[in-house]
Every structure is written in C-alpha cells, then in structure tokens.
Structure 1
Amino acid sequence: MILRAFLFLIVVWTLPAMGPWQDCEGAKACDLDGRSYHIRVPDDWDGDTALPVLLHFHGWGRQGDLIVKHQRISGHTRRRGVLLIAPNGRGRTWDFWDQGSADVPFAAAVIEDVAKRFPIDRDQIFVSGYSYGAAMAWRFACENGDGVTGLLAVSGTLRQTERCPQAPKHIRHVHGFADTVMDFPMGAGGDVTHPVALWRKALGCAAGRRLPEWQVVSFLSFERWHWDNCEGGHTVTLDLHSGGHFIPHGWIGWQLDQLMGRVPLYP
C-alpha cells in the first residue's frame, strides 16, 4: 500500500512536465500535413502558464533541429519562459521572394498546431529569422503580421518597394555593414536607415532619431535608430554594426526582454 501511494505521488508530481508535446520536442520533428517543425520548451515551465512564442525561420541549408539547440536563439528563449517554434523549409530554404508564398500559411498553421499542444500567449507572439530566414520572417510579417507582437529580423530583408497589407506591432531589424551574403541594403546618398524603409512608409512613421550606441558583449556595439511616432502605436527599430553575416551575441534575447517589459540581460 505504501509503495502504491509513493508511485502515485511520483506520477502527480511529474504531470506538469508531461503533455502532448513530448512526442516531438527538440530534435524530433512534429509532423503537420506532410511538413514539419521543431519546438523547444523553456526551462522551468510549470506546464500550465500560457507561453510567449518565438517563431524562428532557419537560414538557407538549415533545418529547425539546429535552431532548437542554437545558443544565440534557443539559449535565450529557454531562459525567458518563451516557447521556441522552428518550422522546416522545403528543400532547406524558404519561398519569400514574391507575394503568395505557400510558406506563409504553413507557418501560420504551425502556430495553430502548437496551440493545440500548449497554452500560448496570443499577446506575445514574436517572429524572427536569420539570413534567408529573416527575409521569410519579413514575408510572414508582411502578409500575416497583424497578430504578431514583434518582428526580430537578423541580416535579411525583402525589397523595400514591397507593399505589405499587414504589419507587426513592433519591428526590430539588425544588419552588419560588412555583410556580403545578404548585402547591407544601403539607401540613396548613403542612407543607412534604408533597411527598414518599407515599414516606415507602410506605418506612416515620421522622422526617426539616433539613440546612443549600445552593446550586449564588449566586442560588438550597435548604432540604433528608432521610430516611435508611427501610426497606430507601431514602432520601428534598426540596429547597425560593423560586422558581417551572423546572429549577434545576445541580440535576440535583448529584444525579447525589452518587448516583454523586462530589464535586458545576457544571456
């Protein structure tokens, strides 16, 4: 009798850590209508609290299994109570060049499928990506962004002449001047703010302002431009650095902290 009671208590105590997600968490992909995605549950989740979400699009030639173990991505989400979702692109890439991409409804369906497995916080849905994945994140935000809290794009954009019927509440983009993979989209006359010209026009932003330089790690500093005068309470933020094509240390976590009203920390 004592043994049975003890085993019952073990089962009860472990219930919060169990759920319908266990069959495809981490490196094992979750299947969805012939396609797939990966998830990473945050550390110390109680199994009940609604989770903020970061939907991250991988770079060219990659898959979501890399994202859920990437220290500059999942290393930040898992410490912040954020559920990381990493969809897999067909052929290890994304169709973002033109409107009507099948990857947009697929990614939207991924979020809804995740919502069947987890309690998610619809007021804190963030979309990010790196390189080709950043351009895909832009495409998703452009066509399905009205319910997105923040776009966090790293070293990849759409053409700034695109027309976007939807937009996230907050747009944050980071790009290096020395990027030779997804070249820095310099504007006419050396306009360094051109990488976010699309959003500034679409959201009716007035003149921006340059904020003091900031840094997460000692070896990389950012020049920050910010527009908080856009229509409907939207904001646009652009971080620039002297480096090339990479995800800056701590950048994703820093943005999540700020947009969720927390003191920014590293990592």
Structure 2
Amino acid sequence: MSTQDHVSWSTVASRGASKKVLRPLPVSAETDFQFKLKSNTLFHHSELDYQIMVRQAASIVKQALTPGSVLFSFPASLLKHRTEAYELIEDKCGAVQGFRPISNYGTRSAGEFMVEVKFVMPTSTTKAITHGVSYKNLLFKGSPSVPSGNNTLVHVKMTLLRIPDKDTFLADLKRSLRYYGKVYQVKEYTCGGYFEGELSVILDTSAGYIDASGDKVKNEPLTNNLYLEEWDCFASATFKGAPTVCHWFRLAGHARSKCPDLAKTKCFSCHGSGHTAKFCKKKNLGVTELPV
C-alpha cells in the first residue's frame, strides 16, 4: 500500500510523533535461556563490508579520508612489512601519489592492515575498486573514500507491529525504508524458529532517495516510530542517538522526570502530584500527609 503520493511526509511524521512507542515486555531469564533469539540474515549488500571499513578508517583518523582516495585492507599476518602492500598496489593498479597507513593511528587488535591510497590517474582508482589486487590466491578490492559528513551507518533495531506477507516481506520492507536511508543489511530474529516481528537493519542515512517527481532528496530523519509505507503502519525502533522515550507515557521527546502527564498524576500515599505511591519518597521515609 502506497500513501506518499497524496500524504505529505510532515503529516506522516506528526502521526508517528503522536503515537506511543511500544516495547515488548522483558522475558524471564529461564525462557530466554531455553528459547534464545536466533538471527537470520535476509539481505546483505555486497558493499557493506567495504562501507564499514571506510567508516572505521575515518573514525580512527578522526576525520574524513582524502577525497578521491581508495582504502585497502589486508590481513596483517599476510605481510612481512606494509611496504609489500604498497609495491603490490602500485604494480597492479598504477602510479601512486602517496599512502597513508591507517592502522598506524589505531589499534591492531583486529589483525588487519588498512592503508589509504591516492592514485595519480583516475583510471588507476577505478581499477583498484573494480579489479583490485591479487596476492597468494586472495583478491583484495579497494573501497572508495566517503565524502565528509557521509561517514555514518546506523544500526536500527525494529519491532514490526503487524504480521507481514512473507512472500513480499523483504521487498516491501526495503521500499518502505528507502525514505530513511539505503538498506545495507536486514536480519530477522526468531524464537524457537518462529518470527515474532523483531528485526535489525543497517542504513546509510546520507544516501538520499528519489521522490515522486524523480528528484533525489535527503533522507527523512530517523525516529522511534518508523513509518512503513507499503503497509501504512509504524514500527517501533531504537538506534544510537534516538530521542529519549518517557517510560511513563511512552512518548518520545522527554524523560519520565519531565513528563507533563506524570506531573498531573496524584500519589495515593502522600496525596502530592508528579509521582505514584510506588515511587513516593515520603512514603519510603515513613512520612504521610493527611488530606486537608
């Protein structure tokens, strides 16, 4: 079901902001142990590993990579010295302006040697990305650098509040999520082999999407309630940097301590406002106020 042709995104966003953010109740430890959630990858973009690598490199050097550069990653155990990688890259791809050993600026716990390469000719850059280099029967392809400001992949955990059609589920989900970013991975979680609506997705929120007019526009900001156009419904979502959700009223945008609804609530113990008897401090101190 598609609604974007006649409903503005501002209307969709206001609908989502007014909805309560639903979360499943925690399951007991005994049940969790017996029926531990298992993940199953439904979709994995072929470029995801490269995209992650580029963003890790930018994180290590605390800035974007050199525009037009290429990033290579080799198992550290494969090389006696990093200059072996330099010789291999230049020999197979073409003349190089310079190298920057990214691994020298960060930890080596992963056992990977990462190096940024700036070629003299654009054709060498293309060759490094499309053909890569071979060494000891292993193929290593370069990954293009990510422009400044576009170096964030967001891992989103979602709870579908409906039962989707299994045959078209993945395609419908990817079409719906295009408003928020380019989908690089989709995982479903099952309990005892049964899907209960738990998902995780990896999105590039800077990729943009094509609107109804054929123009490329910026992605919509992520929220705690993600609108899924194909099903005309909202999914509960959590991600790093997500708006705070009030545990009392279950609306995003404020903490429980700032909840306007809770401020109107009366305590049956001290007859004050802004809390319930369960969280009454005066009750815990043994102080009780009689009604006037």
Q: TM-score, normalised by structure 1?
A: 0.25
Report the TM-score when normalising by structure 2. 0.24
Higher relative contact order (CA 8 A, sep 6+): 2
Q: Which has the larger radius of gyration?
A: 2
